């Protein structure tokens, strides 16, 4: 299939790269919205309580959902269930929310090695996009090494880095060690409740520059011509804070009645084989309630002229650490936040590197999307059956 209908660049996205303006970006740096203002008059106990509350799953951030500003809550953390291999709990959460966040699922050092490999290769091919070592050191306080998660500061104006179309980079052993790790096979088999899964040889390895993002979509429009039992794992290569362009998931959108008409209309459309249609529902997450209202409730509500309340979209995101993974269902509405990083106010963005890997069960009962040619099993074996 054409690689990038879900991406942000011209040749990779079937549409112009979407960038947010500097003004939008400066207003939107993911700012935690605290539930209560801090005062010094509170007791130690109260402060402790508040800190717990701030760290709770209900913490809210302002974030650029593409070109629109939205608020998002923190993703629910399923790491304990993963560590206990509690498949009932993991599947129950996945079925309810349409996603799973698992922290520290992959070895941190492997993920950082993959990041270093991706950035080194990209810097060789697009040297003009990256700040020089000196500039980087200045910005990153000396932490300029690719290896330890540093590096990746872009020159002002750098855009359309084109990593997605460089599949030889995605195929590097250090990168495959992460994107096709046994832990991901285990997760996909457990969530999909099957004996064996396979993963697409093609990998959606992205280097996202300042102002860029992926618009609101479901994977079904890109990968839905085969089995519906297909999942995506979103793997941040390094720390990806919300402001760097983290994943944003509309929790429950795969089952919610608010999204039903969108699932039936947009969700059953497919991106043209020539990749000329972006496949995005919108590039503005703040528009989604209006789109749901328009498509779901054209009659205007209760028949007595009272417009129905706008549906609430439960956007979820988080600051990702190296090793964290988010799994998504094929009908879960999601996008990535705009990369509004501005390293030390320099006007330079930090590149966001991440990779989406797709998974489905092996076997005749699970048809493949004809747009995807090559599939791989554990150990990198080609899956021909």
Q: Which is nearer to ligand AKG, 78 or 232 (CB)?
A: 232
Q: Which is nearer to ligand AKG, 206 or 348 (CB)?
A: 206
User: Looking at 93, 200, 341, 354, which residue binds ligand AKG (CB under 6 A)?
Assistant: 354
For position 179 contacting ligand AKG by CB under 6 A, the verdict is no
Rounded to a whole number of angstroms, the minimum distance from the CB of residue 208 to ligand AKG is: 6
**Cα–Cα distance measured from residue 34 to residue 54, given in angstroms and rounded to the nearest whole number:** 7
Q: Which is nearer to ligand AKG, 356 or 369 (CB)?
A: 356
For position 204 contacting ligand AKG by CB under 6 A, the verdict is yes
Cβ contact 211:19 at 8 Å: yes
For position 176 contacting ligand AKG by CB under 6 A, the verdict is no
For position 334 contacting ligand AKG by CB under 6 A, the verdict is yes
**Cα–Cα distance measured from residue 110 to residue 126, given in angstroms and rounded to the nearest whole number:** 24
DSSP H helical ranges for 29-86: 44-54, 79-83
Site string for ligand AKG, 227-256 (x = CB under 6 A): -----x------------------------
Helix axes 182-192, 87-97, angle to 10 degrees: 70
Q: Which is nearer to ligand AKG, 139 or 315 (CB)?
A: 315
For position 12 contacting ligand AKG by CB under 6 A, the verdict is no
Phi, psi torsion values for 123, nearest 5 degrees:
-65, -30
For position 283 contacting ligand AKG by CB under 6 A, the verdict is no
Q: Which is nearer to ligand AKG, 334 or 368 (CB)?
A: 334
DSSP H helical ranges for 59-172: 79-83, 87-97, 108-125, 133-140, 167-170
User: Looking at 3, 6, 63, 154, which residue binds ligand AKG (CB under 6 A)?
Assistant: 6
Cβ contact 170:115 at 8 Å: no
**Close Cβ partners of 355 (under 8 Å, ≥ 6 residues apart):** 114, 170, 175, 178, 179, 203, 204, 205, 206, 234, 235, 237
Q: Which is nearer to ligand AKG, 189 or 356 (CB)?
A: 356
Q: Which is nearer to ligand AKG, 74 or 218 (CB)?
A: 218
Rounded to a whole number of angstroms, the minimum distance from the CB of residue 337 to ligand AKG is: 9
Rounded to a whole number of angstroms, the minimum distance from the CB of residue 142 to ligand AKG is: 29
**Close Cβ partners of 36 (under 8 Å, ≥ 6 residues apart):** 50, 53
> Which of 311, 384, 366, 328 is CA-nearest to residue 97?
328
For position 219 contacting ligand AKG by CB under 6 A, the verdict is yes
For position 333 contacting ligand AKG by CB under 6 A, the verdict is no
User: Looking at 103, 206, 254, 350, which residue binds ligand AKG (CB under 6 A)?
Assistant: 206
Cβ contact 355:159 at 8 Å: no
Rounded to a whole number of angstroms, the minimum distance from the CB of residue 222 to ligand AKG is: 7
For position 356 contacting ligand AKG by CB under 6 A, the verdict is yes
| Backbone angle region of 375, left / alpha / beta, with phi > 0 → left and psi within -120 to 50 → alpha | beta
Residues lying near ligand AKG in the complex (CB under 6 A) are found at 6, 204, 206, 214, 219, 232, 334, 336, 354, 356
């Amino acid at each position: 299939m054409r690689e990038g209908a879900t991406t942000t660049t011209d040749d990779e996205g079937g549409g112009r790269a979407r960038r947010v303006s500097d003004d939008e970006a400066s207003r939107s740096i993911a700012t935690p919205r605290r539930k209560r203002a801090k005062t010094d008059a509170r007791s130690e106990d109260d402060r402790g309580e508040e800190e717990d509350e701030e760290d709770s799953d209900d913490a809210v951030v302002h974030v650029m959902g593409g070109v629109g500003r939205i608020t998002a809550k923190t993703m629910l953390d399923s790491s304990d269930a993963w560590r206990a291999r509690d498949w009932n709990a993991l599947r129950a959460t996945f079925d309810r929310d349409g996603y799973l966040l698992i922290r520290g699922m992959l070895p941190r050092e492997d993920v950082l090695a993959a990041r270093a490999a991706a950035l080194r290769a990209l810097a060789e091919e697009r040297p003009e996009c990256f700040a020089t070592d000196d500039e980087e050191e200045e910005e990153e306080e000396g932490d300029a090494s690719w290896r330890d998660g540093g590096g990746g500061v872009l020159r002002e104006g750098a855009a359309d880095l084109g990593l997605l179309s460089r599949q030889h980079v995605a195929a590097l052993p250090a990168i495959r060690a992460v994107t096709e790790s046994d832990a991901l096979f285990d997760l996909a088999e457990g969530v999909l409740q099957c004996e064996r899964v396979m993963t697409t040889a093609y990998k959606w390895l992205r280097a996202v520059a300042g102002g860029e993002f992926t618009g609101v979509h479901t994977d079904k429009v890109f990968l839905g011509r085969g089995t519906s039992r297909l999942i995506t794992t979103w793997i941040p290569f390094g720390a990806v804070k919300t402001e760097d362009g983290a994943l944003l998931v509309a929790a429950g959108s795969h089952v919610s009645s608010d999204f039903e008409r969108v699932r039936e209309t947009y969700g059953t459309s497919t991106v043209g084989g020539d990749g000329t249609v972006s496949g995005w529902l919108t590039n503005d997450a703040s528009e989604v309630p209006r789109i749901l209202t328009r498509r779901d409730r054209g009659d205007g509500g209760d028949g007595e002229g009272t417009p129905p309340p706008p549906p609430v979209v439960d956007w979820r995101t988080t600051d990702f650490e190296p090793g964290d993974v988010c799994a998504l269902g094929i009908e879960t509405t999601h996008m990535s936040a705009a990369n509004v990083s501005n390293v030390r106010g320099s006007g330079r963005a930090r590149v966001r590197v991440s990779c989406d890997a797709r998974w489905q069960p092996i076997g005749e009962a699970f048809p493949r999307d004809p747009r995807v040619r090559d599939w791989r099993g554990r150990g990198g074996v080609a899956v021909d059956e």
